[in-house]
Amino acid sequence: MSSRSASTHQDGKTTQSDLKVSHQRTDPNGKLQDQEKKVELGKKVTLLRGISIIIGTIIGAGIFISPKGILRHTRSVGMSLVVWIACGVLSLFGALSYAELGTCIRKSGGHYTYILEAFGPQMAFIRLWAELIAIRPAAMAVISLAFGQYILEPLFMPCGIPPMAVKLATTIGITSVMYLNCMSVTWSARIQILLTLSKLLAIIVIIVPGVYLLFKGETQNFEDAFDLTHINLSGMPLAFYSGMYAYAGWFYLNFVTEEVENPEKTVPLAICISMAIVTSCYVLTNIAYYTVMSAEELLASDAVAVTFAERLLGNFSIAVPVFVALSCYGSMNGCLFALSRMFYVASREGQLPEVLSMIHVRRHTPLAAVLILYPMTVIQLFVGDIYSLLNFMSFLRWFFIGVVVLGLIYLRYTKPDLPRPFKVPLFIPVVFCLTCFFMVFLSLYSDPVNTGIGFAISLTGIPAYYVFIHFNNRPKWLQRAIDSINRTLQIILEVVPADQ
């Protein structure tokens, strides 16, 4: 059995950091002994689990539903494939840069931790603030809505799905993902592996018949593939923007570095293997699409994978929405698993409430850090204008990723003696950093209103930093209220401070 004990200070108050977990056992003489058990996050992320986190979060619904953004801006089948490959290479550059950061700064937290180490707490808090109040709840809500839409589609075909049914199915999906991540790190990682295999199976189901038809001579849609007469050079940056968005997710393993087995080898290897698999899958999937559909037909389709399946697979096409739903569920699970660690680390650094850095006494999961996104995500589902919010915030992702990689370059000169088990050539982070800032500049040029709103929302983190973090002289009544809420949540959630 387990019990929580607390020590009382001289002033008679009990502090949360004094709470420990003890387990009783019987010694050879039959007497009960108290044995303190460490409460911490274990190193349960193996190479296979690391690969499943990266692939499972990168491959969401986009490659199945609407891969036409690049084609729309390139206006050429051949150039669209070149852009897919180029975006894969650029994403690999970013992933390799993060691999270096993950092996020399062996802390979980991803973007937040690296900005904190390179540029200090204020910049890190601004990033954290934007993530917490808008970006992550909205992003989780969008991928969850896609899950709800496609998990119900086989039940309602060919009729439309009532919007409230989608939202209810979405809420059930989010709740189940939250529950899974609260209960067990091991099971959430195992299910992530299964979901990753299922989405790779779905991609194989698309690639194999498409490539088979290509080798049989179905090449008419590739004739004049590199005809550049209709290409619009001003649209090329937008094509790269769409492509880089499709590859986003390669950084999630860095959010859980402290839980990775042998991180100096596992992190770089998992990143390289994952990016090779994802780039190959994306390019071959698009080749399969073009084998069956012309460029005009692909642009006219709202769900390319469904159209592809209806033409080639007959009755089996009904399984495609199920595969899309499983793919979305895998992205939800992988994102939540990684993001909860960012909030956990931010709390440990004193920039979020203390309870978020505590671990469940039996399950050894950061339960409070997992749950923090739940209410905000559900609120976004039912009342928020999610898609416009994502438009406001999408450019901020690349701005802060660019800042992180700039931090890598900065640390090369300010901390040259920092151990770097994995070190990339300097041109790799330089090229990637310039690409990120170019995309941010493109956003400012093409959509100044929404970009400005996004900047304004993120800049509210500056006064929030000074109010909640910088000024220590809080009123006593406010500090007592915060302490009381922390104690109450700790008791309800059965969490204790992690052993360092």
DSSP structural state of residue 161: P
Give the tens place of pLDDT for each residue, 87-136.
999 999 999 999 999 888 888 888 899 999 999 898 999 988 888 887 78
Residues 6+ apart with CB under 8 A from 234: none
DSSP structural state of residue 471: -
> How high is the pLDDT of residue 23?
42
Residues 74 and 22 in one domain: no
Through-space distance between the first and last CA atoms of the chain, rounded to whole angstroms? 24
d(CA 277, CA 272): 9
Residues 116 and 13 in one domain: no
Residues 91 and 157 in one domain: yes
| DSSP one-letter string for 269-281 | HHHHHHHHHHHHH
CA dihedral 356, 357, 363, 365 (to 10 degrees): 80
Give the tens place of pLDDT for each residue, 354-368.
888 888 888 888 888
Residue 265: closest CA among 99, 148, 71: 99
pLDDT classification of 385: cutoffs 50, 70, 90 = low
d(CA 124, CA 116): 5
Share the mean pLDDT of the chain. Answer: 81
Coil, helix or strand at residue 497? strand
pTM for the full model?
A: 0.82
Residues 20 and 55 in one domain: no
Residues 435 and 316 in one domain: yes
Residue for token pair 């669209």: 80
Residues 118 and 178 in one domain: yes
d(CA 343, CA 336): 11
Can you give 209-232 as a three-state secondary structure string? HHHHHHHCCCCHHHCCCCCCCCCC
d(CA 262, CA 186): 17
pLDDT classification of 389: cutoffs 50, 70, 90 = low
Give the tens place of pLDDT for each residue, 393-431.
677 788 889 999 999 999 999 988 888 888 999 999 999
Compute the average pLDDT of residues 218-232.
74
Residue for token pair 């450019």: 395
**Number of folded domains that form the chain:** 2
Q: Which amino acid is at 87?
A: C
Residues 88 and 165 in one domain: yes
Q: Which amino acid is at 157?
A: M
pLDDT classification of 17: cutoffs 50, 70, 90 = very low
d(CA 420, CA 411): 11
Rg of the chain, C-alpha, whole Å:
24
Query: Residue 97 sits in a domain of what CATH number?
Result: 1.20.1740.10
Residues 6+ apart with CB under 8 A from 327: 59, 60, 61, 64, 195, 198, 199, 202
d(CA 169, CA 145): 8
Residues 26 and 168 in one domain: no
DSSP structural state of residue 23: E
Q: Say what percent of the chain tops pLDDT 90.
A: 18
Residues 9 and 128 in one domain: no
Residues 15 and 157 in one domain: no
> How high is the pLDDT of residue 114?
93
Residues 16 and 89 in one domain: no
pLDDT classification of 220: cutoffs 50, 70, 90 = confident
List the domain range (segments joined by +) for residue 84. 44-497
Give the tens place of pLDDT for each residue, 20-46.
444 444 444 444 444 445 555 566 788
Residues 15 and 67 in one domain: no
> How high is the pLDDT of residue 476?
77
